[in-house]
Chains A and B, each alone.
Chain A
Amino acid sequence: MSNAQDPSQLYAAHEPIFPRRVTGKFRTLKWWLMGAMLAVYYITPWLRWDRGPQMPDQAVLLDISSRRFFFFMIEIWPNEFYFVAGLLIMAGLGLFLFTSAAGRVWCGYACPQTVWTDLFILVERWVEGDRNARIRLHRQPWNWEKLIKNGIKWGLWLLIGLATGGAWVFYFTDAPTLFWGLLDGTASPVAYITMAVLTFTTFFFGGFAREQICIYACPWPRIQAAMMDEDTITIGYRSWRGEPRGKQSVQTSGDCIDCMACVNVCPMGIDIRDGQQLACITCGLCIDACNGIMDKIGKPHGLVGYLALTDEPLERAGKADKPIWKHILRPRTVVYTVLWAGIGLGLVAALFLRANLDASITPVRNPPFVILSDGAIRNTYDMRLRNKHGTDRWFTVTATAGGDVTLALEGTDALRVLVKANETLVQRLYVTASAGTVAAAAHHLPLRLWITDAEGTETPKAERIYKDTIFNGKEDK
């Protein structure tokens, strides 16, 4: 039967969910994780890290106006954005790895939407009571009690939202300065606007949108579904043990007494006994709920629990499950791990190998070369010299080429320039080959430019780097 013609069936009203309080090992784990993650989020901007007098002392700082990212001892310049790209790729691969091994653990335990919703539900429970009380309050007409309780709840939610947005802005500028600036009204409007937007989105997403975000707005569930296979350990209902549902006094009944505990605690409002489904974020609360009931009726835990699809036939046949490592260790997870670790090692190596001076050389190609009055060929290069030291440094420039060339720097007779601490200098370099030389007639002469830190006194040998480019000669036709 198709009722697509009936417009009344095209849209469904939102049914509010009132998750019941639950205790158990997953709930305890989630409390600790929530505490740890919120603590990291709120405390991180306040950590200090001494980088010298000219530099910001905030341990983690995304200084967008100065184009620097600081992370403890690491400082990322805009030209090193590949570190950020690498971290994002690692985050993606990490998600692939965790999802293929253990399902939607990100969704269930670490996603901010889940963590903040959890916190908002906690507040809701403090103010309005547990599931039944909340349902009653929801159904009763508006009166003073409902108004006051909702008012308190919304007020607390707004405070949490404000604190969320408030912590966010501290990552982008010096936290103590901004804190007092926010209080006395001298902070940038951008900070206030960001806080207002994040306060509202936190309030709305955590308080009202909740599971709708996961089901309708978030792309991850769809992507993650493609990461899971029959060996993925995820949450399921052991129907072969639970069915048929019914009273324990009836001999033919399975272990499931149809108490609805797993449904009542579910923040997504689903019935895990229907099997894995799109809306399930694998938060583990149904496991806690069911295990509590199993304790009461004297049955073993695990009617609802973490298991893989490949374990089902084994369990039905009364055999033991495959060991967990056999589920986890399979080509797919190994490939993800190797990729993840490879990129990570590459980034760490790049981090330690990078020099405190850096340069990029851009040949000026309009025109490719200039003929001077004595017939010499001159090429021009724009150099960006980056001094990552906390002190001013003199950099010298030399060249090795396949032919004789002479160097000159715009605006100075010397072959050295002063680059200020933690700054980039754009310096024009002229490379000239005399008329009749190999270089002057070359099509593309390889040219290696060496940049040396002339004041590398605290290091045993002067730090130097090279950049390869080409020299354009005037080819004889």
Chain B
Amino acid sequence: MCAKPIKDDAKAKVGTTGHSWDGIEELNTPLPRWWLWTFYLTILFAIGYTIAYPAWPLIYGATPGVLGSSTRADVDADIQHFDALNAPIKAQLVAADLTAIEGDDALKAYALAAGKSLFATNCAPCHGSGAAGVQGLGYPNLLDNDWLYGGTIDAIYTTITHGVRNTVDPDARNVGIYMPAWSDKASGPLADMATAKLSADQIGQVVHYVLKLSGQTAHEAKATAGAQLFKDNCVACHGEDGKGNRDLGAPNLTDAIWLYGGDEVTLTKTLTEGRGGVMPSWGYASASSTARLTEADIRAVAVYVHSLGGGE
């Protein structure tokens, strides 16, 4: 059926491109003219676009475009729009009793969603995006069931609002309370707070007592010697039984969770050099500065952190 070649006169009419493969030649069939017009239209559109919208780069910015379009302004408008939409539920969140928020489905859903994004922006740099903290740097893990200052929603809220040991907020937790540097070679403010100067051997004895307290393998003789040193120097904060004191942010030394690490090397370092982690105040406002987070935002973060698995 295809015995006759297609359009015997096509080659004479339009010619070929000069390309030939195995004797198969490429006809130089003209494009439809509307195709050309479409091409010109796209050029016209592009010119119109650069007039209408910001386009041509200048030294400080770009031509603004006659429509006054600005994606920055769009984002600002979007933020205002959503802020306005969220205003009622934020007001409810602030008005609600802290412990009642989690019982209210709508408030809880909002607080969790807002808290999650606020946490990612403000808290994750230290506590990690998954809230697991950084042990070596003393950024607490917020997922476990051990809390320095308490894991109730109220305690978490207070910690976020005022922070820990910061120099800004007079209500910050543990202002002036540190883990002292016990080494007799230590100097500086942390060393001044120690009630005794311990030699490296004595520190080793205390370390082994703490290892024993927490159920880890310890040198018996050292641990026994360390018990008396612990009683003389440590119980004021960590308690007779070593279970810590939340009023002073003193960690529980008998459990499996360690702020800086529970191995011999880290414990030795902790005792020798002292510790004193700082957390900023997120709710403190003064005459010259505004709070980092609003009351509604702090409450949202508190609800979110409380929901991470360790909440009390």
Which residues of A are interface residues toward B (Cβ below 8 A)?
1-4, 9-14, 212, 216, 236-240, 243, 273-277, 307, 309, 312, 364, 366-367, 370-375, 378, 380, 410-411, 428, 430, 435
Contacts and interface: CB of A to CB of B under 8 A. Distances in A.
Nearest to B30: A12
Contacts of A410: 307, 309
Nearest to B6: A274
Nearest to A435: B256
Given A273-B4, A372-B257, A367 B143 contact: yes
Nearest to B7: A274
B2 A212 contact: no
A-B complex: 6 closest residue pairs judged by Cβ atoms = A366-B130, A236-B1, A373-B255, A375-B256, A367-B132, A275-B2
B141 A276 contact: no
23 contacts: A2-B16, A2-B17, A9-B30, A11-B35, A11-B36, A13-B33, A275-B3, A276-B2, A312-B1, A312-B3, A366-B130, A366-B132, A367-B130, A367-B141, A371-B256, A371-B257, A372-B145, A373-B144, A373-B145, A373-B256, A375-B256, A410-B309, A435-B256
Interface string B1-29: 11111110000101111100000000010
A371 B252 CA distance: 14
B195 to A, nearest CB: 28
Contact of B15 (A1, A13, A274, A364): A1
A179 to B, nearest CB: 31
Given A239-B1, A275-B6, A371-B257, A10 B30 contact: yes
A277 to B, nearest CB: 6
A372 to B, nearest CB: 5
Contacts of B146: 372-373
Interface of B: 1-7, 12, 14-18, 28, 30-36, 102, 128-130, 132, 141, 143-146, 215, 252, 255-257, 307, 309-310
B41 to A, nearest CB: 14
A374 B256 contact: yes
Contacts of B33: 11-14
B1 A276 contact: yes
Contacts of A277: 6
B4 A364 contact: no
Nearest to A208: B34
A212 B18 CA distance: 26
Nearest to B102: A411
Contacts of A4: 15, 17-18, 28
Contacts of B252: 373
A365 B7 CA distance: 67
A237 B28 CA distance: 26
Contacts of A380: 143, 309
Contact of A373 (B28, B129, B257, B307): B257
A239 B6 CA distance: 12
A11 B30 contact: yes
Given A2-B17, A275-B3, 16 more contacts: A1-B12, A9-B15, A9-B28, A10-B30, A11-B31, A12-B30, A12-B33, A14-B32, A275-B1, A277-B6, A366-B129, A367-B130, A367-B141, A371-B256, A375-B256, A410-B309
